[in-house]
Structure 1
Amino acid sequence: MTFRQFTVNNVIRNKRLYVAYFLSSLFTVMVFFTFAIFAFHPAFMDGSIRGEVLYGMSIAGGIIYIFSFFFVLYSMSSFLQSRKKEFGLLMMQGMSTKQVRLMVFMENMLIGFFSTLGGILLGLVFAKAILLFAENMLVIDETLNFYFPLWAIIITFVSFIVLFLFISLFVSFILRTRKLIDLIKADKQSKGEPKSSVILAIIAAILLAAGYATALYVEGQGVLLAMLPVIIIVIIGTYLLFTQLSVYVIRQLKGNKRFFWRKTNMVLFSDLSFRMKDNARTFFMVAIISTVAFSAIGSLYGLQSFLTKEVKEMNPYTFTYSNYESDDSLIQEHTRTVEETLNKYDIQTETASEELNYFEVENSGRPEVLISKESEYNRFAALLGEERVDVGKNEAVVVGDSSTVMIGAEQKERLMDVPIVLENGERVHPSRLISTVVMPEMFSYYIVADETFDALPDPVETKTHITWQATQGSEEAIIEAGGVLQNQFSPGTFSAIDYSIYTINKSFGPVLFIGLFIGIVFFVSAGSFLYFRLYSDLDQDKMKFKSIAKMGLTEKELKKVINRQTALLFFAPIVVALLHGAVALTALSNLFDYNLVTESALVLGLFAFIQIIYFIIVRHFYTKQIRSAIY
């Protein structure tokens, strides 16, 4: 058997460890290849969306490539740590240090070559499905037809072969073999009782509590000012949480005899402090990477939801025309243009028009304030299916503006303290505050009875306002007609809400798509880190549970201990990441004064579900390996 054959067989024999490394690398290559397929797609190269998407794709590809380097490097270090005894046995048989390095180099290049090739082939298999998914998510007009991505294949293959070559050379160069006796007994040497500092454990708790409290307390622009300090505090606190606080808590639990001696707790906690200490850096890295994935995707999704909802709330009508001009012939011409376009696209609507009158109101904080007749307001309310308003003769109703962000709550309520002065000098005081989206007004305004309105002085400004609420017509036709009309009129004159939302989604589509893929890469890599750490201790776990089984541990108890142990090690960093992500998205809600509970729950719940499925699969094979060594 040649040395080359020996290296290939060595990879096959260690397939349990290499399979996660291989599949994760394969997935990373596939994602990078997917971005390359988009970047060189003819629709992007020749179409109008080239500039919108290619820049983001390039940045995303660079991020994935850089992250892949550190991921592969970390994976290799995990393999080398778990194979110390194997290196010792090989050196005992006469293998030199140079040959050990050459073996590691050849192994990594073998895995790198096939994972690169497999990632490209898998990307080609699912290319059409991914293109269809992207076509809908990116909200583009061009069709992303399948094509043979020659340049994408070349760039992906060359990029990752170079990456694996560089890492293989780097790892084999820095590889150091210790004394032979240390390598042979690597899995039997005592690590000593893990130590933790009480002071550092307390500092960890204080830092995390302070970071969370600050992020949840600050609002508005204060979120941006507090962001960097909070991030630094939470990162330091997370590191101390896994290296100090977790070990301290476990030692305290072990010191509680009633708890430690209960059922199988002794088996569970006997080496848990060792594992927490050994895996502290891995847990820290997984927690931070997962937090970045949660926060990035949640922020992008939340920002898109926020913008689309704000646009819809500020103007709930399908089509809106506003004009400050007093030229009736011009307004009639514009109205005919709208009606003809709607007929062309077979869109039926209900129409309402009104003269919006703005008055000078002292102490209102604005040059003019809209005051609407009760009858006019109720006519528009009926168009939207909103509740009617009944206003007494000597009262006024203040309506909070439809925007929840652009104008603060204190400005919404300000008009409640400002009375309306009639032409005869009488004052009408506001009696209540309501919040609706009936009138197309960005700021707060008044509703008064018709008789009261007639007693007002002359308005300082009047605006003609016409709305069309679609009752029949396809969504595509409404969007297309809105785009045609909105481009015909000067900015601010005509608004097509569905077309506006379409343009927002079109702008956010590439960003969301890129963020989603990067987040998935980070999250899968984080899960792979946990897989590596769990399986690197598998041989020791087999010996430990085999010895305990001889002392009377039943199969049911064994399964219980393994489930708890793997769950603690698997979900400890993920739970921390979910908490970090929830706090980060809550801070984002405070920044925009917008409730992101639904978006946050959807993003965090999806990732938690994926992690649970991943855990169930890993636990199944891990338990199977332990049981095969005992029974």
Structure 2
Amino acid sequence: MNNQFYMKMAAENIRKNWKMYLPFIISCISTIMMTYIIRALSTNSGLSQIPGGDNLQTILFMGYIVLMIFSAVFLFYMHSFLMKNRKREFGVYNILGMDKKHIMKMFTFEIFYVAVLSMVIGLIAGTIFNKVCILLIRYMMNASVSLGFEFSLPSVGWTLGLFTIIFILILLVTIYQIRLANPIELLKSGNVGEKEPKTKVFLSVIGFALIGVGYYLALTIQSPIQGIQLAFLAVLAVMIGTYLLFTTGSIAILKMLKANKNYYYQSNHFIPVSGMIYRMKKNAVGLSNITILSVCVIVLFSIAGSIFITSDSTAKTQYPGNFISQVSLSDDMSDTGEEIKSEMSELIDRTGYETNTSVVDYSSHAYLTIPVFETSGGFEVTRDVFFIQGNQRPSSLFLTDQENYNQFSGDNVSLDENEVYIHGVNETYNENTLTLMGQQFSVSEMSDMEEFSIGSETESEIGDIYYIIVPDMEILRQLEQQQQEILEDYSQSTIIFTQVDLGNEVSAEEEIEFGERMELNMENAGMDIVNIDTEVEAVGQMQALRSGVLFVTLNLATLLLLMTVLIIYYKQTSEAYDDKERFSIMQKVGLDRSEIKKAIKSQILIVFFLPLIVTGLHILAFSLLMKKAMVLVMLNQVDLFPIAIICAFLIFTITYVVIYRITARVYYNIVK
């Protein structure tokens, strides 16, 4: 037989099995399109010129690596469903005289057709939607809209190379399976039944316990950033617990239903319960996968939605001026920072003159940050604050002296000796005294204290924030020295924080030029620079982070949603072919179509909506933890995240119901 025969036969096989092949082809097209878009965005020359564009493309490239792995796993998983339902067909070919070499040759052409069709359509769709994504990113980053059209040839090459390798690996794995298969086993593959599984009470209890532990950790972890190990443990415990519950707990529940004679001996209960008991071991893994994928889809869409609706003013609130700098004081404890303030004033005026930029206002003040644990009557300074365990919640102290505070705020604070003013952002400090590293102070609460640091809104979501005013600079430097002795390499110095307001009429280019020249002048002056930033660059970096996370999460969410839908479709189709003969026998012995339809509906409802219920419980348990983690990209607008979760869950539920109605109809038509 020549190659033309195999080519025609392969095309005919795809046509006859289009119900099975179409979802797989859609999967291939979608993954190729998404992978090309992310790769093209990560190398787009226009995006790299936007402030923060370099960071955006770094995030997108990391997302491209993740997407490559997900794409390969996804396509292998989908193809395994496709091949499962064609084993009997290959057995028939073998019995009719086609040896394994001929079957492998025919299947090679099938994969070739699918690969070529998917790559052509996927790259065309990717090229079109890539432009839409570029426009959306430019809109999110407040950049001018480019009307040009860029075709990324290197991205096409990378995408074609990646998916060529994936299709070749799929082909090789399938050929290996065909070579090992026995023709008789292939013919009987659809008729192999499952043994009734045993009830494993111990594993069921472990499953419930693991989910309980995961829920407890998710609800009690105070800082997901510092307690990332516990957050990972919580996710892992819930995932393992979900698999155990579906594989062992579901069987235990079904056997309990079987033991209930009043419930079990009804036609619409007897058939689905008895059938599911025998196949639940196989069903359980699929149901667990659907549940975990559903959770991932909802969380990812929630993240994408909440990032998209977060206003750009969020990042700007973290920067009180167009230019900010942080300079460490010297190790000399007598250094009050006045010399640095005076020098900074001269440098600001000089830099404004050199760059021809109008300086509207500027100010400098000293402050010290100390990470602590809150205790009864004060705060404890310990290295353990950097190694969070259990439910420990760290706090941050921002300290300054009354002279610096008065200069910064314009107030006229007057403190007695050993008296401090304190203001808690999250919690009110209710003690009359404060003990800190062996020093004791009397406390007065200030409810309207001005904040004298940047980033407090972000940090307050991770841990408690307290602003403290001490009587003089000498006490502030003493506290600095004491915390350096305790924290050693983890300690911080007293900082002179300077902010410069250049006015609203200053362009982004002028602001960046001022910042670069100011940094050069400060370096020439020999200052110990901790940080220098401009509002334009900071906001650009935050927008880049948000845009990058948005596009990566959207692509992953879409890919996982597609995987969820196709797993359900293939699972229902596979179940229908397995059940077809069983229901046919029952119909011959007297079961009418209405009773069969009731039994099918009962079985599908159990299989379909059990994962959705468990998904809802998982989302509810982890929503608080996710809200805390979202502070990294949403800053002080994390209150929007619960709304995004609710919307994502409702939309997913509607989608899920639509999938149920479609697959239920497919299932019934096959069985009928």
Q: Given that residues 569 and 663 in structure 2 are in contact (C-alpha distance below 8 angstroms), is that contact kept between their aligned partners in structure 1? A: no
| 1:370, distance to aligned residue in structure 2 (A) | 3.0
| 1:27, distance to aligned residue in structure 2 (A) | 0.3
Return the alpha-carbon distance in structure 2 between the equivalents of residues 149 and 526 of structure 1. 31
1:524 maps to 562
1:385 maps to none
Q: Given that residues 374 and 391 in structure 1 are in contact (C-alpha distance below 8 angstroms), is that contact kept between their aligned partners in structure 2? A: no
Partner amino acid for 1:622? Answer: T
Pick one of 594, 608, 626 that aligns with 1:553. 594
Q: Which moved more, 1:486-495 or 1:81-90?
A: 486-495
| 1:180, distance to aligned residue in structure 2 (A) | 5.1
SS in 2 for 1:128: helix
Unpaired segments of 5 or more residues in structure 2?
327-336, 369-377, 382-396, 457-464, 478-494, 523-528
Structure 2 CA distance for partners of 1:630 and 1:505, relative to 1, 3 Å: closer
1:371 maps to 402
Q: Given that residues 88 and 183 in structure 1 are in contact (C-alpha distance below 8 angstroms), is that contact kept between their aligned partners in structure 2? A: yes
Pick one of 234, 239, 244 that aligns with 1:240. 244
Pick one of 618, 623, 631 that aligns with 2:664. 623
Residue correspondence of structure 1 range 5-84 to structure 2 within 5 A: 5-43=8-46, 52=55, 55-84=58-87
| 1:34, distance to aligned residue in structure 2 (A) | 1.3
SS in 1 for 2:199: coil
Residue correspondence of structure 1 range 48-447 to structure 2 within 5 A: 52=55, 55-137=58-140, 143=146, 145-175=148-178, 182-220=185-223, 223-227=227-231, 229-260=233-264, 264-288=268-292, 324-325=338-339, 331=345, 334=348, 369-371=400-402, 398-400=421-423, 413=429, 416-418=432-434, 429-432=442-445, 434=447, 438-440=451-453, 444-445=466-467
1:384 maps to none
| 1:86, distance to aligned residue in structure 2 (A) | 2.5
Q: CA RMSD of the aligned region, Å?
A: 5.5
Q: Given that residues 399 and 468 in structure 2 are in contact (C-alpha distance below 8 angstroms), is that contact kept between their aligned partners in structure 1? A: no
SS in 2 for 1:553: helix
1:608 maps to 649
2:547 maps to 509
Q: Given that residues 82 and 537 in structure 1 are in contact (C-alpha distance below 8 angstroms), is that contact kept between their aligned partners in structure 2? A: no
Structure 2 CA distance for partners of 1:497 and 1:110, relative to 1, 3 Å: same
Structure 2 CA distance for partners of 1:202 and 1:341, relative to 1, 3 Å: same
Return the alpha-carbon distance in structure 1 between the equivalents of residues 325 and 96 of structure 2. 87
Deviations 1:16-74 (A, max 9, x none): 11111110111001111113323453436899978645554444333333333332222
Partner amino acid for 1:199? Answer: F
Q: Given that residues 482 and 499 in structure 1 are in contact (C-alpha distance below 8 angstroms), is that contact kept between their aligned partners in structure 2? A: no
Partner amino acid for 2:401? Answer: L
| 1:570, distance to aligned residue in structure 2 (A) | 5.9
Q: Given that residues 87 and 189 in structure 2 are in contact (C-alpha distance below 8 angstroms), is that contact kept between their aligned partners in structure 1? A: yes
Partner amino acid for 1:83? Answer: R
Structure 2 CA distance for partners of 1:308 and 1:369, relative to 1, 3 Å: farther
SS in 2 for 1:208: helix
Structure 2 CA distance for partners of 1:576 and 1:18, relative to 1, 3 Å: farther
| 1:333, distance to aligned residue in structure 2 (A) | 8.6
Identity %: 18
Q: Given that residues 314 and 636 in structure 2 are in contact (C-alpha distance below 8 angstroms), is that contact kept between their aligned partners in structure 1? A: no
Deviations 1:534-556 (A, max 9, x none): 22223345566675695362799
SS in 2 for 1:41: coil
Deviations 1:215-260 (A, max 9, x none): 4334447723435544554443233222212222232233334554
Deviations 1:163-213 (A, max 9, x none): 212321221122257555554444344323233311111111112222332
Q: Given that residues 223 and 590 in structure 1 are in contact (C-alpha distance below 8 angstroms), is that contact kept between their aligned partners in structure 2? A: no
1:537 maps to 575
Q: Given that residues 318 and 468 in structure 1 are in contact (C-alpha distance below 8 angstroms), is that contact kept between their aligned partners in structure 2? A: yes
Return the alpha-carbon distance in structure 2 between the equivalents of residues 58 and 374 of structure 1. 44
Return the alpha-carbon distance in structure 2 between the equivalents of residues 357 and 245 of structure 1. 57
Partner amino acid for 1:89? Answer: V
SS in 1 for 2:594: coil
Pick one of 593, 609, 612 that aligns with 1:568. 609
Deviations 1:107-135 (A, max 9, x none): 22322221122111211232321221233
Q: Given that residues 483 and 496 in structure 1 are in contact (C-alpha distance below 8 angstroms), is that contact kept between their aligned partners in structure 2? A: yes
Return the alpha-carbon distance in structure 2 between the equivalents of residues 225 and 330 of structure 1. 42
Return the alpha-carbon distance in structure 1 between the equivalents of residues 630 and 662 of structure 2. 41
Partner amino acid for 1:528? Answer: L
Structure 2 CA distance for partners of 1:324 and 1:283, relative to 1, 3 Å: farther
Structure 2 CA distance for partners of 1:522 and 1:87, relative to 1, 3 Å: same
2:462 maps to none
Return the alpha-carbon distance in structure 2 between the equivalents of residues 41 and 13 of structure 1. 42
Partner amino acid for 1:149? Answer: S
Return the alpha-carbon distance in structure 1 between the equivalents of residues 128 and 315 of structure 2. 40
Give the count of matched residue pairs: 591
Unpaired segments of 5 or more residues in structure 1?
381-388, 420-426
Return the alpha-carbon distance in structure 2 between the equivalents of residues 512 and 466 of structure 1. 31
SS in 1 for 2:445: strand
Q: Which moved more, 1:77-86 or 1:298-307?
A: 298-307
Structure 2 CA distance for partners of 1:193 and 1:431, relative to 1, 3 Å: same
Structure 2 CA distance for partners of 1:120 and 1:378, relative to 1, 3 Å: closer
Q: Which moved more, 1:31-40 or 1:575-584?
A: 575-584
Partner amino acid for 2:560? Answer: F
| 1:10, distance to aligned residue in structure 2 (A) | 1.4
Deviations 1:443-501 (A, max 9, x none): 745689xxxx9xx999989989888698xx69xx6766654554454568997657533
Structure 2 CA distance for partners of 1:509 and 1:374, relative to 1, 3 Å: closer
SS in 2 for 1:249: helix
Partner amino acid for 1:417? Answer: T
